[in-house]
Amino acid sequence: MKYKNLKIKGIAVVLVAFSMFVFSCKETPKEQSEKDGEISEVSLKVAEPFFKLSLAQWSIHKMIRNDSVDPYTFAEKAKKWGFTGLEYVSQLYNPELENANYSEEAMAAFVERSNAEAKKYGLQNVLIMIDGQGNLAVSDEKERNETVEKHKRWVDAAAAMGCHAIRVNLNGSSVPEEWKVNAVDGLTKLATYAKGKNINVLVENHGGLSSNGVLHAEVMKAVNMDNCGSLPDFGNFCITRSEDGCAEEYDNYKGIAELMPYAKAVSAKSHDFDAEGNETKLDYTRILKIVKDAGYTGYIGVEYEGSILGEEEGILATRDLLIKAGKELN
């Protein structure tokens, strides 16, 4: 009897062990699948660049001006080319707005149509680049104040469109100390107004003394407002021009590094590409390392200005280069 009980217990132990083995074998593929899924998810995250991609509307200015392409097709094109953010350019909506003297009705129509297109294609309105509205660093105080007033309507438009910023130019005096004083005054007045609208006022290195990295950074430090910052452009570091081209150029890499502590947007300028898809004059990997080391993770806007490739080809080449260089830094 005792032997029989032991035999039964032995059989029971074997059955339990076998069941556990079978259960374990059945679970293994699921567990492995989950692990594979986790690995794939991690790999996907590693493969993604550290920034988001937006398209600067200036990249299609030839289409708009030379080929009569409707500027309100901007969102449609950006979506088609794989972008998630939109950077508008104010001057591309002239003469429509200019002829209406930038009336409230004309500005409201611009906002309404732009919002409708962005919503239709599921894109984010990032910022508006403002041109032709006066000089914020001009020495004439009356003219400077008038320039601030002209920019306010664009602050309002940006707020109504859900943008986080407007980009301004800091043209004016060519005397460094005079320029700095004027620039601080104009920016402070505009940024004070924009603060109430939750809009950032960003200065691009866009020629003149704004392309001098040290001076530009000194202005940012002097203004010292949370909603006033820089928009470093990879390529706009020509301070003075002549008939033969750029007569005085600031070091691109040095300038970007000096502006990044104040950056709230970044512009990826491009002109020409080699056979491997690299920009012929700008080391994108080196630049993106500067951007990443500054802790920037926001939108980088593609701004193609070349003449060898067509605008669409140039935009796609710049986009692909950004993604490739960004992944190399992960």
Q: What is the CATH number of the domain that holds 128?
A: 3.20.20.150
* Helix spans in the chain (H): 2-47, 61-66, 74-80, 96-99, 104-120, 141-160, 176-195, 213-223, 252-259, 284-293, 311-328
Are 74 and 106 in a shared domain?
yes
231 and 272 inside one domain: yes
Are 202 and 249 contained in the same domain? yes
Same domain as 165, residue 83: yes
Same domain, 273 and 147: yes
Q: 163 with 296, same domain?
A: yes
Range of the domain at 3: 1-47
Q: Tell whether 139 and 163 lie within a shared domain.
A: yes
Q: Domain check: are 168 and 33 in the same one?
A: no
Is residue 188 located within the same domain as residue 72? yes
* Mean per-residue pLDDT of the chain: 90
Q: What is the pTM assigned to this prediction?
A: 0.86
Together in a domain, 9 and 75: no
Cβ-contact 211, 250 below 8 angstroms: yes
Same domain, 166 and 144: yes
pLDDT at site 47: 64
Model confidence over 38-72: pLDDT tens digits?
544 444 445 689 999 999 999 999 999 999 999 99
Residues 81-107: tens digit of each pLDDT: 999 999 999 999 999 999 999 999 999
For the chain, the domain total comes to: 2
One domain for residues 26 and 146: no
Answer whether residue 3 shows pLDDT above 70.
no
